[in-house]
Every structure is written in C-alpha cells, then in structure tokens.
Amino acid sequence: MGSPPSLAARLGTDQTVLTAEGSWTIDHAHDLDGLIDQTLRQAPAERPVVVALDRITNLDTYGAWMIERVVRARETGIGKARLQGLPDRYRSLYEEIRSTEHAPPPAASSPTPLSDHLANLGRGTVAFGHELAAYASMLGALVLAIGRAIANPQSFRGTSTLHHLDRVGWRAVPIMVLITFLIGCIIAQQGFFHFRKFGADAYVVDMVGILVLREIGVLIVAIMIAGRSGSAYTAELGSMKMREEVDALRTMGRDPIDVLILPRIIALVIALPILTFLGSMAALYGGGVVAWLYGGMSPEIYLQRLREALSVTHFEVGMIKAPFMALVIGIVSCVRGLAVKGSAESLGAETTASVVKSIFLVIVLDGLFAIFFAAVDM
C-alpha cells in the first residue's frame, strides 16, 4: 500500500511549489482525486506552478494521471505547470500517460423529453410496420419453400420434421393434458358454484362443452406452445445465427428456410391440432370429474347432457383455428430468431419478444375467427 500521498502547496511571490510525497497509486486514488482539486484551488491562477515529484515513493497509471491532471488544468492561461524531479524509473510511465488524447469527452446532447418521446413513438411505429412486413415475407418464403418441396420431394427434410414433431408434439402431451384437465376442472367448479344459486346446474355442462371446444382448449394449448416451443425455436435459431451457422448453410447452397424453418413450422402445424384435440378431451374429462364429485352429476348424465349440448360444429370451430395459430407462432418465433444480432442480450430480448408477440397475435387471430364464424353461422 505504501504511505498515504500528500500534496503540499508553498505559495511564493513568483511561483507556487507543490510538493508531492508518498505513494501515488490506485489504492489512494480516491484521496488523490480530492487532494488535487483542493490544492489547485489554493494556488493563484496567474502564477506558474512547479510540481516537485522527487519524494514520490510509488507511482502507477492512476498517480501519473493525477499529476497529468494538474498539468492539464494549467495548460491554458498564464500560470502554467511544470514538473520537477520526476524519478527516472517513472518517466516512461508518465510519458505514456502524457501522450493520451487531450480533447475532453464530448458532452452528451440531451434532447427535450417531449421530442424524445415523439421520436420513440415514430421509431416504434416504423419498427412495427417493418415487423409486419417481415412476417408477411416469411409467410411468402414459406409458401415458396413448400412449393419447392412439392416439386422436388427429395429436398424435403423429413427426418428433421419428425424430430421436431417429437419435441413439440409428443413430448408436450403430458403437460398439455395435465393443464387442460385442470382448466376443465376449474371451469366446471366455478360453473356449479355460481349457477347453483339460480338453479341452473344443468347448464354447466353446456358451458363447459362449448367453452372448451370452441375457445379454451385451443387457446390454452396455443399459448402453452408459444411459451414452450416458440421460445425454443427463437433461441435455437438465434444462437445458430450468432455462431454464423445460418450463413454457413447459405454458402453451402442450402436455403435456411428449407433446412431450418420449414421442418419446424410444419411440425408445429401438425402438432398443435393434435394437442388441441387431446387437450379438449382432457378438459371435458376434467369437467366430468368435477361434475361427478362436486356437482353430484353422474357420468352418464354428464355425457348425455354433453351429447345434447354439443354439435360437431363446435368441435370443428376449435380445430379449424389450431393450424392457423400454429402458423402464427411458428412464423413469429422464426422471424424473431433470425433477427438476433451478435450479443447475448439481443438473444434474450428476441426470445421475450417472440413469446409476447406470438401470444398477442394468437389472441388477435382468435378474435378475428370469432367474427368470421359468427358471420358464417358456425
């Protein structure tokens, strides 16, 4: 550590002598910082300053910068600073510091808050437009890739598609069934609890059946898939992009859309309807279990009521939506994955954006479908 540094000022008639002593190192940098400013204030600005350094015992880049700070503070004006007795062993160190750039760091321009907000709003709007265009162009690229795969079935990545189907479909079955089962239970329980007050117990079955088949089944599964598989797609493609694997594919004459994206999206489009079907069945089963144990409705009656309340149309409405939701999730997650830039932070940001945006678009799509089905009387 060495002895603490000091800087004593002796005011003369023609010059000020500052005597530096002790260890001018990083360990004392905090003290030195205050010491320099304080001592410089004592020294009259119009008289030259001599800094005597022969009693310095230790010097590193921090100490050397402190000396240089005195010199630079007196660079302009008449009272210039001069160094005296710098030990030889520190001369090259000081010269190195002395030769660093002189210009003070540029002051950061601070725009007014309002214009800042407006600029952000504008930037956000433009980015939103670009994003929609990116999704549309990905959809186009996918259609082209499907066209190529039909024209030349050899080029289609069957193994890869099966692999992804296993990951996003088969392995997702247990968690999807469990969650939709629980959701079915909860809806039925809430239905019995509230409908009982005005004696409408019997209609709980209608509510569970229609809600699950038309909306809840497909929505829950799509949201789960966006979180489970969409995020994985984004992270995989993003890290491939970071490691230049995507570029490597391109140089070998393989389109990343064909090799990486088409198998993933096809796997999703196949898996999501299957999971929706299983999920809806599990939810109806859960509703039945609650009806039996909590609502006091025997399974036979529950099934009978279901048969009366439901038609194939309700089932179709849910199932028709599933592949489109899969397409939205797939396109969003792949576009976000390919948008990853070099840094780890960007990978995290894109993965978050992928999940948030695909869930948002799934819900928007669901609303559009509701309008459509109402118009065609389904």
Partner 1 sequence: MVEKAIESMAASRDVNASADNVIEVRDLVVGFGDRTVLNRVTFDVKRGEVFGFVGGSGSGKSVLLRTIIGLIPRRSGSMKVLGTRLDAATEEERRAIERRWGVLFQQGALFSSLTVLQNVQFPMVEYLDLPQRLMDEMAAVKLDMVGLSRADHDKMPSELSGGMTKRVALARALALDPELVFLDEPTSGLDPIAAGDFDALIRTLQQTLGLTVFMITHDLESLHTICDRVGALADGRVVNTGSIESMLASDNPWVQSYFRGRRASAYHTRPANSEA
Closer residue to partner 1 (CB): 126 or 344 = 344
H or E element in which residue 222 lies: helix 217-225
Binding to partner 1 by residue 46, rule CB under 8 A? no
| From 92-100, 118-126, 139-147, 205-213, span contacting partner 1 (CB under 8 A) | 92-100
Residue 305: count other Cβ atoms within 10 Å of its Cβ: 19
Sheet strands side by side (includes 16-24): 6-11, 16-24, 49-59, 81-84
> Smallest distance from the beta carbon of 257 to partner 1, in angstroms?
25
Please list every residue from 56 through 85 that binds partner 1, using CB under 8 A: 60-62, 65, 69
E strand map for the chain: 6-11, 16-24, 49-59, 81-84
Q: How far apart are CA 83 and CA 72, in angstroms?
A: 12
Closer residue to partner 1 (CB): 103 or 312 = 103
| From 134-142, 217-225, 287-295, 344-352, span contacting partner 1 (CB under 8 A) | 344-352
Binding to partner 1 by residue 31, rule CB under 8 A? no
Closer residue to partner 1 (CB): 116 or 308 = 116
Residue in 126, 162, 175, 344 binding partner 1, rule: CB under 8 A: 344
Q: Taking phi first (over 0 means left), then psi (-120 to 50 degrees means alpha), and beta for anything else, what does residue 244 get?
A: left
Binding to partner 1 by residue 159, rule CB under 8 A? no
Closer residue to partner 1 (CB): 137 or 343 = 343
> Smallest distance from the beta carbon of 30 to partner 1, in angstroms?
6
Residue in 125, 343, 352, 356 binding partner 1, rule: CB under 8 A: 343
Binding to partner 1 by residue 247, rule CB under 8 A? no
Closer residue to partner 1 (CB): 66 or 172 = 66
> Smallest distance from the beta carbon of 348 to partner 1, in angstroms?
9
Closer residue to partner 1 (CB): 31 or 308 = 31
Using CB atoms within 10 A of its CB, is residue 231 exposed (0-12), middle (13-18) or buried (19+)? buried
Q: How far apart are CA 2 and CA 5, in angstroms?
A: 9
> Smallest distance from the beta carbon of 87 to partner 1, in angstroms?
10
Q: How far apart are CA 12 and CA 106, in angstroms?
A: 37
DSSP 376: T
| From 28-36, 44-52, 202-210, 233-241, span contacting partner 1 (CB under 8 A) | 28-36
Q: Contact at 8 Å (CB) between 9 and 42?
A: yes
Cross-strand bridge partners of residue 8: 19
> Smallest distance from the beta carbon of 134 to partner 1, in angstroms?
20
Binding to partner 1 by residue 377, rule CB under 8 A? no
Q: What angle do CA 116, 122, 126 make, to 5 degrees?
A: 145
Q: Which residues, in sequence order, are CB contacts of 25 under 8 Å at separation 6+?
A: 1, 2, 5, 58, 59, 60, 62, 63
Binding to partner 1 by residue 109, rule CB under 8 A? no
Binding to partner 1 by residue 166, rule CB under 8 A? no
Residue in 6, 289, 346, 353 binding partner 1, rule: CB under 8 A: 346
Indicate the residue type of 309: A
Q: Which residues, in sequence order, are CB contacts of 209 under 8 Å at separation 6+?
A: 284, 287, 306, 309, 310, 314
Binding to partner 1 by residue 190, rule CB under 8 A? no
User: Which parts of this chain interact with partner 1 (CB under 8 A)?
Assistant: 25-26, 29-30, 33, 60-62, 65, 69, 88-89, 91-93, 96-97, 100-101, 103, 105-106, 341-346
